[in-house]
Structure 1
Amino acid sequence: MCPYETEDNEVETVVERQREIQDDVADADRKKTKKKRAAMQAGARSYPVPPYQAQHQDKPGSEADLAPTPMYDAPFYKGSGKLDGMVALITGGDSGIGRAVAILYAREGADVAIAYLSEDEDAAETGRLVEAEGRKCLLLRGDVRDPSFCQTAVEKSVDVLGRLDVLVNNAAFQVHSKTIEDMTIEHFDETVKTNLYGYFLMTKAALDYMKPGATIVNTGSTTGIGGNWQLLDYSMTKGGIHAFTRALGSNLMSRNIRVNAVAPGPVWTPLNPSDREADEVAVFGANVPMKRPAQPEELAPAYVFLASPQCSSYITGEILPVVGGY
């Protein structure tokens, strides 16, 4: 027998009190009007909320044809010289996250080279936007899967702009497949070659010219953290990018070169309508806790932070998630 037992009347009092609390909460819940939670808006301006126009594009996608137009110019972001005198090379810099990063890098004082596959109209517009910030912009058309292009892109950046301080590996290929049986070897190979070989080859070429204090910023993904059942290959490459970032950060520590990654959640860019069916694009990003996809300008400050020696000199080998809540 226990040395002490609570009296039955005391036990009944506790039970009665707990049930009263339970009833009070239930009554309060019943009185509340059940409202659908609105998309979170906590930025300097409001951002579009799904559903969007149903739309589909051929690869690689065009920002000029996307509706609503992605918001990339961050009009309330004020530069403060965080990248003064630097030169950055951004792959996939013609549109989406790459365009927004190019604009903010220029606003922070950097000249910018952007590598892109074939989207000449988007690339020209990004070049114009960078130059409107008072900085130089070099456009480099080619395939990051090609070692010779990566080498040429780096060499031209250094020849024209004088140096290379920041490499942003951002170019990517993505197409959904609902089953692994649907995925062809060609599909898998395209994803791996673009997303992994592209990062490796561009980094290898850039390191010949990067000096102590330089930085590499890779674009990972929330899919590389938690996976996505319709993006088996893409999730695998993004997880690989995260591991590459951590390993390369350690590898280059003795050379005083930092390596980090940003892991975005859903972001409204041409990657999406050139990947999904039109009806899926219409509700893209609606299922994250914030109930909307990010706009590119909401990602770009993270890339500034990781590139700037004033902001992140003690950070290397890290993955920064920007995913719209958990």
Structure 2
Amino acid sequence: MVESTVTSIIPPAPAGFKSGFIGIVGRPNVGKSTLMNQLVGEKIAITSPVAQTTRHRLQGILTTDSAQMVFVDTPGIHKPHHQLGRILVQNAKMAIQAVDVVLFLVDGSCAAGGGDRFIADWLQNPQVPVILGANKLDQRHQSQQIPEILPPGSSPSHPIDASYTSLPNADNWTLVKFSALTGLGMDALQSLLRDRLREGPYYYPPDLVTDRPERFIMGELIREQILLVTREEVPHSVAVAVQHVEATPEITHVYADIIVERRSQKGILIGKGGQMLKKIGSAAREAMQKLIAGQIYLELFVKVRPKWRQSSHRLSELGYTVEET
């Protein structure tokens, strides 16, 4: 379940129970959010083909009989071009400093790129174990093979991995291959991550899958639909603010603002006769109804806030601040 106003009881951990925080780091569009959703078994992080889809640090919680793994999904590390980008990258770096294990996620369907090498350089002196996760195995011709886990210093049999195992400090990393989209290799990944954790308590009630409230997830589901149906400059210039949620036994009313930087972007989002906004709202409402398992009434308002990504005041209003570890 998603965190709500009801406080669940955190039980004492049994003997031998393991727990800890696992930071998922990687360049944009390698599948971090898809992996998060696959691991916790529920959609808590939005996904889209648009780079830098993830903006907020989101924690996904997987609790088994023997361990509680708290996954920290971070924004893709990239070269920032505005204040929002600088905040996102700073938050990603700060999040990794406070975890017990780092999962460095790469696109295993292609060779390593400059972004991967940049992150590898940044991880040269880690204080915690680093696992190199080669995602998108489903996009390889050999994806039918069972993924292998390679300990530090081993030579991979899969030729595409050579560019990744030659990254700086990769000799000290364990390589694991999987597909976050299909779930191939998830059991092996979970086992490997659990082995890297120490014995510890429950950090969250066992029935929670994220530390974020439903209101936050609702806003992200709206933004996901905008990312999926708009193109070019619009997705990066959009923010969503859920202003009011009113729940009754029959239906939940949600009122949200969509923030853009230019009037032309507002026109694109509304569309001819309001058809684009209707399409966004309909798809977002369906996703929200799955989230809460109930009926949703959704009303969207598009507002223009020039250069909001460069304004510290606007960013703070929308919840984009440097997060504490």
Q: Tell me the TM-score normalized by structure 1.
A: 0.29
Higher strand share: 2
Higher helix share: 1
Structure 1 or 2, whichever has the larger Rg, is: 1
